[in-house]
Amino acid sequence: MSRKIVVLAGDGVGPEVSAQAVRVLETVSDKANLDLEFEPALLGGAAIDAVGSPLPDETLAACRAASAVFLGAVGGPKWDTVPVEIRPEVGLLGLRKELGLFANLRPVKTIPSLVEASPLKNERLAGVDIVVVRELTGGIYFGKRSRSADEAFDTCEYTVGEIERVCRAAAVLARGRRGRITSIDKFNVLDTSRLWRETASRVFRAEFPDLEVEHLLVDAAAMHLLSRPADFDVMVTENMFGDILTDEASMLAGSMGLLPSASLGDGGPGLYEPIHGSAPDIAGRNAANPCGAILSAALLLRHSCGADDAASAVEAAVDAVLADGIRTRDIAAPGQTAVGTAEFGQAVVERLAL
Ligand code: IPM
Ligand code: MN
């Protein structure tokens, strides 16, 4: 039976990096007989331009009917003047909410051949292997908000149920890894964070007594991510803290362009996207790093196709390309000639051992 993958290439560098991820998936599908089928659909600015909505009904229906959804990136200065209710980002947030994708997994690993690409001291980077689990359908992204000429507010809201389910997902993940979990909040200031810490503590104590649990304030966590990154295993946090901390964490790996993500709910199709944005400054120039997108495709194979071997093969192929010194512009050493987005994708395909 074929598996349908909806591809939302989106805006900016989205189409370029998506093309490389799809090319890798097509190769894997042929070699491992996965019978993947790809269906393009519109999201974000591309959808606004075509049909006037950042999340057209047909896109949502196609995503609901799919085995998995792959997304490039959305947004860009071109849509800065559209009404806020139909900004490109609204399409992405709506899709996450509609598909119930409450757990956003963002693995952060240092790649030995790339330690020079990180601005951090190399000795700090040895053994960094973290998964940040970001709550994705609640918090300040989705709370009540209002704006008038001289006043505005956004509200952060969480329910016990929302906190429990994402903490459970993170704890299950930690069990399959090094058994450590760090929950991050702003307990000393915010009521949502006090509810978060109480709920997280209760769930871990009652259901996961085998895990080593740590609670950190988000400001301290931002510091510890740089001073002792190798200590962390799974980190779980609310929506906006997770957004900010994962951009920071990407510099442990060396570039925003490197990190993948998987957004999962209770069954149903998962959504796979690099954590980077649409990078309008380099769009259309074959200059973007497709690693985040290709590694997101690996997560798609693992979490939505049950194809763990194929996922590992893609990850190994990316490692092999990097170990061979092939670099896109963002991670090239000073003076080194960088390859383009498509050439990097080709190099990954050539190294796929399946
Ligand atoms: C991300 C992005 C999005 C977010 C934007 C594009 C809405 O920054 O996926 O990290 O804030 O969630
Ligand atoms: Mn972000």
Please write the tens of the pLDDT for every residue from 301-334.
999 999 999 999 999 999 999 999 999 999 999 8
- Cα distance between residue 235 and residue 22, in whole Å: 29
Domain stop point among 193, 223, 253 = 253
Q: Which domain holds residue 354?
A: 1-102+260-354
Q: Tell me what the mean pLDDT of segment 61-82 comes to.
A: 98
Distance 31 CA to ligand 2 centre (A): 34
- Indicate if 348 and 289 belong to the same structural domain: yes
- Cα distance between residue 299 and residue 319, in whole Å: 15
Residue 217 included in any domain: yes
Lowest-pLDDT range, 29-33, 109-113, 223-227, 348-352? 109-113
Q: Could you read off the pLDDT of 178-218 as tens digits, one per residue?
A: 999 999 999 999 999 999 999 999 999 999 999 999 999 99
Residue 108 included in any domain: no
Q: What is the total count of domains within the chain?
A: 2
Burial group, residue 248, by CB count within 10 angstroms (0-12, 13-18, 19+):
middle
Domain stop point among 231, 253, 275 = 253
Closest CA to 257 of 306, 212, 295: 295
Closest CA to 297 of 24, 43, 95, 66: 24
Q: pLDDT band at residue 224, thresholds of 50, 70 and 90? A: very high
Q: Do the strands 36-40 and 3-10 form a parallel or antiparallel pair, or are they unpaired?
A: parallel
Cα dihedral 319, 22, 104, 223, rounded to 10, equals 40
- Indicate if 148 and 50 belong to the same structural domain: no
Residue 107 included in any domain: no
Q: pLDDT band at residue 117, thresholds of 50, 70 and 90? A: confident
Domain stop point among 195, 219, 253 = 253
CATH of the domain at 10: 3.40.718.10
Q: Which atom from ligand 1 is nearest to the alpha carbon of 73?
A: 6
Q: Using a 6 Å cutoff on CB, does residue 92 contact ligand 1?
A: yes
Q: Using a 6 Å cutoff on CB, does residue 75 contact ligand 1?
A: yes
Closest CA to 272 of 154, 136, 176: 136
> Ligand 1 atom 9: the closest Cα is on which residue?
275
Residues around ligand 2, an ion, CB closer than 5 A: 243
pLDDT reported for residue 116: 84
- Indicate if 279 and 173 belong to the same structural domain: no
Q: Using a 6 Å cutoff on CB, does residue 89 contact ligand 1?
A: yes
Residue 135 included in any domain: yes
The set of residues, in sequence order, having a beta carbon less than 8 Å from that of 83 and lying 6+ positions away, is none
What value does the mean pLDDT of the chain take? 97
Q: Which atom from ligand 1 is nearest to the alpha carbon of 273?
A: 9
- Indicate if 293 and 220 belong to the same structural domain: no
Q: Which residue of 11, 89, 102 sits with most ligand 1 atoms within 8 Å of its CB, as the best mutation to test the pocket?
A: 89
- Indicate if 267 and 347 belong to the same structural domain: yes
